[in-house]
Amino acid sequence: MNKAVLKQILASNQKDVENYQVVPRELPSDEFERRVFIGVRRAGKSFMLYQKMQQMLAEGRGWDGMLYLNFEDDRLADFTAEDFELILECHAEMYDQRPMLFLDEVQNIDGWEKFARRMADAKYRVWITGSNAKMLSSEIMTTLGGRYLTTEVYPYSFQEFLRVNEVPFDEHALLATESRAKMLRAWSEYLHWGGLPESVGLSVKRDYLTSTLQKIYLGDIVSRNKISNANLLRLLLKKLAESVKQPVSYNRLSNVLSSVSGKITMPTVSKYIEYSEDAWLLLRLRNVSAAFADKETLCKYYFVDNGVLNLFLLDGDTSLLENLTALTMFRKYGHDKDNERVFFYNDKVEVDFYVPEDKLAVQASYSIAQAESAFDRELDALKKLPKVLPCDRRVILTYDESDTITDEFGTIEVMPLWKWILCT
Q: What is the mean pLDDT of the chain?
A: 92
pLDDT of 366 = 93
Residue 209's pLDDT band (cuts 50, 70, 90): very high
- Decide if pLDDT at 235 tops 60: yes
Q: Which domain holds residue 167?
A: 158-193
- Decide if pLDDT at 346 tops 80: yes
How does pLDDT run across 312-332, given as a tens digit for each residue?
A: 999 899 999 999 999 999 999
Q: Are the CB atoms for 381 and 373 separated by under 8 Å? A: no
Query: Are 148 and 179 found together in one domain?
Result: no
| Other beta carbons within 10 Å of 222 | 20
Flag whether 250 is in a domain: no
Residue 138's pLDDT band (cuts 50, 70, 90): low
Residue 391 CA to residue 410 CA, distance in Å, equals 10
Query: Are 424 and 367 found together in one domain?
Result: yes
Flag whether 58 is in a domain: yes
Query: Are 135 and 179 found together in one domain?
Result: no
Flag whether 186 is in a domain: yes
Of 96-105, 176-185, 372-381, minimum mean pLDDT range: 372-381
Of the three residues 119, 152, 185, the one that is the final residue of a domain is 152
Query: Are 174 and 73 found together in one domain?
Result: no
How does pLDDT run across 259-289, given as a tens digit for each residue?
A: 987 889 999 999 999 999 989 999 999 999 9
Residue 59's pLDDT band (cuts 50, 70, 90): very high
- Decide if pLDDT at 142 tops 80: no
Query: Are 140 and 89 found together in one domain?
Result: yes
- The residues, ordered by sequence, that sit 6+ positions from 67 with a Cβ below 8 Å of its Cβ are 10, 87, 88, 91, 99, 100, 101, 102
Angle, vertex CA 400, rays to CA 394 and CA 403, nearest 5? 45
Flag whether 188 is in a domain: yes
- Mean pLDDT value across residues 366-389: 85
How does pLDDT run across 143-190, given as a tens digit for each residue?
A: 788 899 888 899 999 999 999 999 999 989 999 999 999 999 999 999
Flag whether 21 is in a domain: yes
Residues in the chain: 424
For the chain, give the percent of residues with pLDDT over 90. Answer: 76
pLDDT of 69 = 97
Flag whether 209 is in a domain: no
Of the three residues 140, 173, 193, the one that is the final residue of a domain is 193
Write down the number of H helices and E strands in the chain.
17, 14
Flag whether 387 is in a domain: yes
Query: Are 46 and 179 found together in one domain?
Result: no
Query: Are 27 and 144 found together in one domain?
Result: yes
Structural domains counted in the chain? 3
User: Where residue 70 sits, what CATH number does that domain have?
Assistant: 3.40.50.300
pLDDT of 357 = 95
For the chain, give the percent of residues with pLDDT over 70. Answer: 96
User: What is the model's pTM?
Assistant: 0.91
Q: Are the CB atoms for 4 and 87 separated by under 8 Å? A: no
Flag whether 392 is in a domain: yes
Query: Are 79 and 184 found together in one domain?
Result: no
Ramachandran region, residue 223 (left: φ > 0; alpha: ψ -120 to 50; beta: rest): alpha
- Decide if pLDDT at 372 tops 70: no
Query: Are 148 and 163 found together in one domain?
Result: no
pLDDT of 329 = 96
Query: Are 13 and 144 found together in one domain?
Result: yes
> What are the distances in angstroms from CA 61 to CA 27, 57, 64, 99?
18, 5, 8, 11
Query: Are 387 and 401 found together in one domain?
Result: yes
| Torsion, CA 207, CA 209, CA 213, CA 219, rounded to 10 | 70
- Mean pLDDT value across residues 189-200: 95
pLDDT of 1 = 87
Query: Are 9 and 98 found together in one domain?
Result: yes
Of the three residues 193, 217, 251, the one that is the final residue of a domain is 193
pLDDT of 370 = 67
pLDDT of 135 = 66
